[in-house]
Amino acid sequence: MLDINFIRDNLEIVKEAARKKNIPVDLDELMRLDTERRQKQHTVETLRTEQNAVSKNVATAETPQIREQLITEMRGLKGDLQKHEEDLKKIMQDWKTLMLQVPNIPDLSVPEGKSDEDNVSIKEWGKKTQFDFTPKDHIELMTGLDMVDFERGTKVHGFRGYFLKGAGADLSWALWNYAREFFGKRSFIPMIVPTIVRPQHFYGTGHLPNEAEDIFKTQDDDYLVGTSEVPVMGFHSDEVMDKGELPKKYIGFSPCFRREAGSYGADTKGLYRMHEFYKLEQVILCEASHEESVKWHEEITKNSEEFVQSLGLPHQVVLNCGGDLGLGQVKKYDIEVWVPTAEKYRESHSSSYFHDFQTRRFNIRYKDEQGKMRFAHSLNNTAIATPRILISIVENFQQEDGTILIPEALRPYMGGAERIS
């Protein structure tokens, strides 16, 4: 969330941010409501002051007649105050609704564009895998090796259901355990986080209100997380930290749930776009400094690049355009791994920073050297998401005889096995 004073003082900049991100929000209406809000707050505060003054005078009234006059006056003030408080409550509801729709300001380096098709490739690593035989896709490979069962998954879960089994399940555990060790060496504190989370934490990260149709909701009006970013950010909500505690570096693990409502008809087969999956997520809280945010953004992106490289997967890094940024993101990179049978790179990781957009909503603060309260900055990046990454692993490492070589980095977590057959 942006500070309302910043919005008022930089209205044209915020309008340009909304245009660049392709996010519709009526900022002129917000300014009108904000003026009305401030005027109404002044009226309410004035009436409260008058009511308090009359109340004190009642206690010290010299005669019963004066006391009765003061009581009558206080009743009138109370009625006026209640009416203006009700008006203020309605104004505040409308004001907050609009405030939650105001996007963060994208970095100047973010390119123009409407969708992920306009993202800009800035780096490639590894050679795109070539075969001297006709490669199989991950569905045929994994089904043939009894690593996955889509038919029974659909029977049990419904559309987009799946069972990972045998080497498919083992490969997932191997990835989680390897990632836990890999990122642990980079001083990330591991967390297993709640997956049922209160609505305010989704508003805090910016996933609500705009992504409501893509989030599973419980009968108690809580939500199921689509990323452990949400509960990890909630971990320090309404807290004041010492500056010396920063940066806070967490790697959160959780089952994740997404309705994929906006992708109807896309990726209906296979493991790319599922309702249920698992993810490890890097989350960092750092000092309120643009330079610090940029530094950590580059570092967490590098962490994930090196993780993917250690698996031997060809990939590229793209700089996301304005139209492919979320509400709160200042800048985002995607890492996309090579999928041979699709003959293209597909997203496996997203790395973003937010400045104090999220921490204002969560009220996560620290005291700087001068004792001034500052909102921390926040960042997050995928460490590894399964089963999506399995697509690239099995396709890139497939052999002509239908077996799959296991990436060397994962073999210690697969009982030393070299291939799946």
Residue with tokens 């793209």: 318
Q: Which one, of 406, 395, 274, lies nearest residue 343 by Cα?
A: 395
Long-range contacts of 44-49 (CB under 8 A, 24+ apart): 44/81, 44/84, 44/85, 44/88, 47/77, 47/80, 47/81, 47/84, 48/81
Question: Looking at the DSSP assignment, which residues form a beta bridge with residue 217?
Answer: 223
Q: 258 an active-site residue?
A: yes
Q: Do the strands 240-242 and 365-367 form a parallel or antiparallel pair, or are they unpaired? A: parallel
Catalytic-labelled residue, pool 172, 350, 351, 352: 350
Which residues lie closer than 8 Å to 193 by C-beta, 6 or more apart?
Answer: 225, 228, 231, 232, 235, 252, 253, 254
For residue 329, give both structure tokens: 């993101």
Q: 273 an active-site residue?
A: yes
Cα separation of 251 and 384, whole Å?
10
Q: Cβ distance 61 to 70 under 8 Å?
A: yes
Distances (CA, A) of 245 to 242, 340, 357, 361: 5, 44, 20, 20
Which residues lie closer than 8 Å to 336 by C-beta, 6 or more apart?
Answer: 315, 316, 317, 318, 345, 346, 347, 348
Q: Do the strands 189-192 and 248-257 form a parallel or antiparallel pair, or are they unpaired? A: parallel
Q: 32 an active-site residue?
A: no
Cα separation of 233 and 254, whole Å?
14
> For 103, which DSSP code?
P
Catalytic-labelled residue, pool 347, 374, 411, 419: 347
Catalytic-labelled residue, pool 19, 48, 273, 374: 273
Q: Cβ distance 395 to 39 under 8 Å?
A: no
Q: Which one, of 138, 136, 128, lies nearest residue 391 by Cα?
A: 138
Catalytic-labelled residue, pool 254, 292, 388, 392: 388
Q: Which one, of 179, 347, 162, lies nearest residue 271 by Cα?
A: 162
Catalytic-labelled residue, pool 37, 160, 258, 365: 258
Q: Cβ distance 391 to 315 under 8 Å?
A: no
Cα separation of 349 and 214, whole Å?
19
> Which residues are marked as active site?
258, 273, 347, 350, 388
